A and B are shown apart, each in its own frame.
Chain A
């Protein structure tokens, strides 16, 4: 199987409201930078392009097609889209390259969540007969999961606050982060509940923005002459859409994906985990089999800023950039999709 090189990754700042900027204007700066990093001109210089976004955020069918305007798709390019986080666009491109259909790919994810009521928009991800008519929003389903975890004794509210305090602290060194600073566990626990048992800080903020990545075969990366990280393994799994049929205190799909991606085949120096709610990082750390010697979310993770449909790709990009800079040799990235960690993707990255 052909090894895949992650050559370049760029993300925009996480902002609560991008104002008058439209999606294309959010995407264009990161596309420009990610191309410049590689030293290529445009989407014409890669074999394949794939994006991740959610038409429900824009409120129009096929809204993602407008995003292609950010590429300049004339003459025609080979292009695809996933109605998911762009981490799954990465997965599609990896398959394409492994099958020999492309040697290089440009990926991007974008989301402008600010115009709508995001937790309610995302309630429409649920099944159309039993749940979405009830308008079960994403904060509420996460709160149900958090209570189940607390009741099980696998975590405490202090453990959840510790995740938040560490996220805010780590985010101080992340120029793209939206929420950062020094805050103590005691201060966090003194806050009132928001959607009990969750406090407001247990929930990721709503952010606008985009991210982009360029991957290629190792041969192509060498031709470009740029440093790169190697994607050693990638896998994704999904659980039942019936919440009651899942053990909400575990992430079985992450466990399977982690095994298939080869997380345990070597030391994990850094893990970037897509946990939109603090308790989910606790569930995912266990599902990924990570010990206390792994640095989790040095970027601050998505509790410091959550660009819908881009944050998963950004987890992979954060780990890749640390490897490219020579800070670490091996790391793990995780992305999630759906309510209460329904679907999960795990990627293992190593130095060249």
Chain B
């Protein structure tokens, strides 16, 4: 045998090598984010759900009635992250919050950059801080901030 045996090589990228559509409901919400707008969807009972769900959480009915909403809302519950983890998107203390977007009934979860825990309270008003560049991801909302 030769000392210089051929070493077989093949490039390999670990990851998803396909793309997929997010569909007419999730896709519509994400596309609206790219345009710096928030849309909700009406559930079977008429309540406005944000982010929109494809099917009603109670009746399982297919949902399709979209509602344009502002980029402001109210904190329904919150938690203060003193020590952000490496994966967290804010690298300083921040709050997680359930935020009821004005004109909606079902709150969404996102981050609030309030600077200090003492600035946080249930019922406080917040508004979206948009990312510098929007791409059609949930992270187009960089976070919320006290309004």
Contacts and interface: CB of A to CB of B under 8 A. Distances in A.
Interface of A: 117, 119-120, 123, 129-131, 133-137, 140-141, 143-148, 151, 193-198, 240, 242-246, 248
Nearest to A123: B87
A130 B51 contact: yes
Nearest to A239: B57
Given A130-B51, A148-B76, A194-B82, A244 B108 contact: yes
B85 A130 contact: no
Interface of B: 22, 26, 30, 49-51, 53, 57-58, 76-82, 85-89, 96-98, 100, 106-111, 117, 122, 137-139
Most chain A beta-carbon contacts within 10 A, residue among B57, B89, B111: B57
Given A143-B96, A144-B98, A135 B80 contact: no
Nearest to A147: B77
Contacts of B22: 129
A194 to B, nearest CB: 7
Contacts of B100: 244
Contacts of B58: 245
B94 to A, nearest CB: 10
B78 A129 contact: no
Classify the interface of chain B: helix, strand, loop or mixed: mixed
Nearest to A129: B26
Given A129-B30, A134-B89, A242 B53 contact: yes
A146 B77 CA distance: 9
A195 B81 contact: yes
Given A129-B22, A134-B89, A242 B81 contact: no
A133 B138 contact: yes
A242 B49 contact: yes
Nearest to B108: A244
A136 B79 contact: no
B115 to A, nearest CB: 15
Contacts of A197: 79
B85 A119 contact: yes
A245 B53 contact: yes
A197 B139 CA distance: 25
Given A117-B85, A129-B22, A144-B98, A134 B77 contact: no
Contacts of A151: 77, 122
